[in-house]
Amino acid sequence: MSVINSSAQLDRYCVFGNPIQHSKSPAIHAMFASQTGQTLEYSARLAPLDSFVPSVQQFIAEGGKGANVTVPFKLEAYALANHLSERAAIAGAVNTLTFSDGVIVGDNTDGVGLVRDITENAKTAIVGRRILLLGAGGAARGALLPLLAQQPASLTIANRTISKAEDLVQLAHATKTYRGEIEAKTWQDLNGSFDVIINATSASLQSEVPPIPYTVFADTSFAYDMMYSDGQTSFNRYAEQAGARTRDGLGMLLEQAAEAFFIWRGVRPQTAPLFAHFRTKGSV
């Protein structure tokens, strides 16, 4: 299901991606709209790999009010936006576009979605804690500013390619708002344990786990995999064996969508009923 009501007068939104047929965003936004009494239409649009910008322009010409952007177009959406939020500028990627009076505003709601899921839904504090972020690609970069805004005691970024972790450390220094410690590490360099360990690598997609030592997990550690699946992710299985509490990225998916909905409609939907729905129904 992708359309709530087919009337031409409805405010129209969509998600662009390639592939896009398995996107949960149309169902999520339809549920948000019905829950908040908002009347809108939200569809999934397949943009050809070489035609993201024309696809967006076409949607604007059709009266589109806003769009989510997913793999592989978040960098192109960043380049397309005429105006960027600070968190999108730092992320270097855009997942939420708003079209108004000829201006394309780009935002990134992924990082705030992650932080909200950890701190509010999983009731796990980041402030004052030792955080380990695994990965230094787009997902890690998107999480950087919202994580630092929580003022953890320290942020360690570990990645297979150390230079990319070092780039993120430089970016963090440039924000000048973070007062704690920040460092880049290779997997082999990691020592000591961490309070919150976030997997932002795409290793779980290949059922792999970054080669981190068991010792980074303490009995009280909270491990978060940004990936989600019907079953347990490979990272979360590893973290649980090491004694950690775990959570996957279903809540982050819902929270980033809720933040986009809020940007567009000025109303914040509840994610808990959707979490229960998708977890029970599976196939998220």
Confirm or deny that 135 is annotated as ligand binding: yes
Q: Does 202 bind ligand ATR (CB under 6 A)?
A: yes
Structure tokens given for 9: 């007068």
**Which residues inside 97-136 make contact with ligand ATR, applying CB under 6 A?**
135-136
Q: Which of 11, 38, 164, 167 binds ligand ATR (CB under 6 A)?
A: 164
Binding window for ligand ATR (CB under 6 A); candidates: 1-9, 10-18, 51-59, 160-168: 160-168
Residue nearest to ligand ATR (CB): 137
Q: Does 253 bind ligand ATR (CB under 6 A)?
A: no
> Judged by CB under 6 A, does residue 201 bind ligand ATR?
yes
- Distance, in Å, from the CA atom of 122 to the CA atom of 68, rounded to the nearest integer, reads 25
Neighbouring residues of 221: CB distance < 8 A, sequence distance ≥ 6: 193, 194, 195, 196, 197, 239, 242, 243, 244, 245
Q: Is residue 160 part of the contact set for ligand ATR (CB under 6 A)?
A: yes
Question: Does 162 show up as a binding residue in the annotation?
Answer: yes
DSSP characters for 86-136?
Answer: HHHHHHT--SEEEEETTEEEEE--HHHHHHHIIIIIS----TTSEEEEE--
Would you name the residues annotated as active-site residues? 74
d(CA 50, CA 243): 45
Is 149 annotated for ligand binding?
no
Residues that bind ligand ATR (CB under 6 A): 135-139, 159-161, 164, 201-203, 206, 208, 210
